[in-house]
Amino acid sequence: MKKYFLTSTLAALLTLGGLSVPALAGPEDVVVENAWSRASIGMNRPGAAYMTIRNTGDEPVTLIGLTTPLAMMPEIHETKTNAEGVSSMSPAGEIAIAPGESVALEPGGLHGMLMRLQEPMTEGETFPLTLLFDDGGEVTVEVPILGIAARGPED
Amino acid sequence: MRRRAILVYGAAVVGAVALMLFVGWWRVDGPGAPAPVGQRPVTLTEMDFRLTDHEGNAVGPETLIGRPTMAFFGFTYCPDVCPTTLSDISGWLDDLGDEADEMNVVFITVDPERDTVETMAEYVGYFHPAIRGWTGPEEQIARVADGFRATYERVPAESGDYTMNHTASVFLFAASGRFVTMIDYHEPKEFAVPKIRRALEEEMEGAT
Ligand SMILES: [Cu+2]
């Protein structure tokens, strides 16, 4: 099993320490950068989380799912826009990341779809999101919640 | 002296003809070419629909005539494409500054079941103040989409809810109601503001 460094305990400690935690995760294998999400209006609408997931190790890693206390049904989704300009969304399935490669979850493409929110997403807060890998490894990131009109991690 | 004047005049005519040819090429075959006929929205003056804006006013295609228009479809339960498009548009409007005051900017829902007037009002309030939210009965939404040659489809989601597939392009119309061009969802963002300016300039051409 590959080494996954950052536990949720450490994430909690970092959060308590007041660090806005943009880059987290495994020192050798999986690094998550620029995580962000948008605030929600209430709890009826699904949310979306974005980030860059980098495999800095020597072996491929495969992302198989998500879990978070924020949403009962978190899932990796992909938005596709066809030649006629019609956009649709569907589950992305497993995502393999080759050694040295990264995968971007960004608007209009892959996203962490947060279905069945358990609480509203409030601007200025963060929530823990755990990435699940096929070898049983997990990486938890604290995802900052930006404004509803945010366009990227810097907004 | 006289001959020279004729030469200057002749050169001006040649220049004007060349410019017209260039403009014609730009609009017909060049980068300014519109989408193929059949997928292009009809002129706003040929559309017929009755909707309600987020402040409760009755609106229709005639509401948009007289000023250039930027319009697009979406729904407020859309987690990814719609907030991104609304944020992009807000950014373009910021870039345009005062020029943006001369435009209609309309977000038309394809999900009237959930997007009531009140819902639209709350949602558009988070974006640029120029953006208006339009909703209405399902059959009227269908008429708008038909006029725009846009499509939408209700799709069940795994969560038990439903989501909407829909045309994500941003449509631009001149003040006359004539369709000018559209900004595709995946188009590089630096092309967007020049395209909007084209719709704005078309109005000035018509005015002079
Ligand atoms: Cu999604």
ipTM: 0.79
Q: Calculate how far, in angstroms, residue A79's C-alpha sits from the geometric centre of ligand 1.
A: 7
Residue A42 touches chain B, beta carbons under 8 Å: no
Which of A46, A73, A84 is closest, CB to CB, to B39? Answer: A84
**Cβ-defined contact of A47 to B79 (cutoff 8 Å):** yes
Residue A147 touches chain B, beta carbons under 8 Å: yes
pLDDT for the residue numbered A3: 45
Q: Is the pLDDT of residue B30 over 50?
A: no
pLDDT range class, residue B25, cuts 50, 70, 90: low
* A73 and B158 Cβ atoms separated by less than 8 Å: yes
pLDDT for the residue numbered B208: 42
CATH of domain B44-207: 3.40.30.10
Stretch (H or E) spanning B52: strand B51-53
CATH of domain A2-146: 2.60.40.1890
pLDDT for the residue numbered B180: 94
* Alpha-carbon gap: A102 to the closest alpha carbon of chain B (Å): 21
Tens-place pLDDT, residues A45-67: 999 999 999 999 999 999 999 99
Q: How many CB atoms lie within 10 A of CB B98?
A: 6
- What stretches of A41-120 show up as alpha helix (H) in DSSP? none
pLDDT for the residue numbered B158: 79
Closest Cα in chain B to A89? B165
Residue A104 touches chain B, beta carbons under 8 Å: no
Q: Which of B72, B77, B78, B80 is best to mutate for the A interface (most A CBs within 10 A)?
A: B80
In chain B, what are the domain boundaries? Answer: 1-34, 44-207
Mean pLDDT of chain A: 85
pLDDT for the residue numbered B128: 94
Whose tokens are 């953006």? That residue is B131
**Cβ-defined contact of A87 to B81 (cutoff 8 Å):** yes
Comparing B190 with B27, which gets the higher pLDDT?
Answer: B190
Q: Calculate how far, in angstroms, residue B80's C-alpha sits from the geometric centre of ligand 1.
A: 7
What does the pLDDT average to over B168-190? 90
Q: Calculate how far, in angstroms, residue B165's C-alpha sits from the geometric centre of ligand 1.
A: 11
Q: Is the pLDDT of residue A14 over 90?
A: no
Cβ-based neighbours of A109, under 8 Å, separated by 6 or more: A78, A79
Comparing A155 with A123, which gets the higher pLDDT?
Answer: A123
Residue A74 touches chain B, beta carbons under 8 Å: no
pLDDT for the residue numbered A21: 43
Both structure tokens of B162: 């439903």
pLDDT for the residue numbered B190: 84
Q: Which residues of A touch B80 (CB under 8 A)?
A: 48, 77, 79, 89, 107-108, 111, 113
Cβ-based burial of A34 (10 A; exposed 0-12, middle 13-18, buried ≥19)? middle
Tens-place pLDDT, residues A89-136: 999 999 999 999 999 999 999 999 999 999 999 999 999 999 999 988
Q: Is the pLDDT of residue A18 over 70?
A: no
Strands B131-135 and B51-53: antiparallel
Cα distance between residue B171 and residue A34, in whole Å:
32
**Cβ-defined contact of A85 to B79 (cutoff 8 Å):** no
Q: What phi and psi, each to the nearest 5 degrees, are found at residue B170? A: -100, 125
In one letter, which amino acid is B42?
Answer: V
Comparing B27 with A98, which gets the higher pLDDT?
Answer: A98
**Cβ-defined contact of A108 to B79 (cutoff 8 Å):** no
pLDDT range class, residue B16, cuts 50, 70, 90: low
pLDDT range class, residue B3, cuts 50, 70, 90: low
pLDDT for the residue numbered A19: 41
pLDDT for the residue numbered A29: 86
**Cβ-defined contact of A113 to B79 (cutoff 8 Å):** yes
**Cβ-defined contact of B168 to A85 (cutoff 8 Å):** yes
Q: Is the pLDDT of residue B28 over 80?
A: no
Q: Which of A38, A87, A111 is best to mutate for the B interface (most B CBs within 10 A)?
A: A87
Whose tokens are 């995946």? That residue is B186
Tens-place pLDDT, residues A73-88: 999 999 999 988 999 9
**Cβ-defined contact of A115 to B157 (cutoff 8 Å):** yes
Exposure letters B121-157 (e unless 16+ CB within 10 A, then b): bebbebbbebbbbbbbeeebbebbbebbbbebeeeeb
Q: Is the pLDDT of residue B146 over 80?
A: yes
pLDDT for the residue numbered B201: 85
In chain A, what are the domain boundaries? Answer: 2-146
Tens-place pLDDT, residues B58-75: 999 999 999 999 999 999
Q: Calculate how far, in angstroms, residue B14's C-alpha sits from the geometric centre of ligand 1.
A: 56
pLDDT range class, residue A142, cuts 50, 70, 90: very high
Q: Which residues of A touch B123 (CB under 8 A)?
A: 41
Q: Calculate how far, in angstroms, residue B159's C-alpha sits from the geometric centre of ligand 1.
A: 11
pLDDT for the residue numbered A141: 96
Comparing B3 with A126, which gets the higher pLDDT?
Answer: A126
* B93 and B127 Cβ atoms separated by less than 8 Å: no
* A41 and B124 Cβ atoms separated by less than 8 Å: no
pLDDT range class, residue B20, cuts 50, 70, 90: low
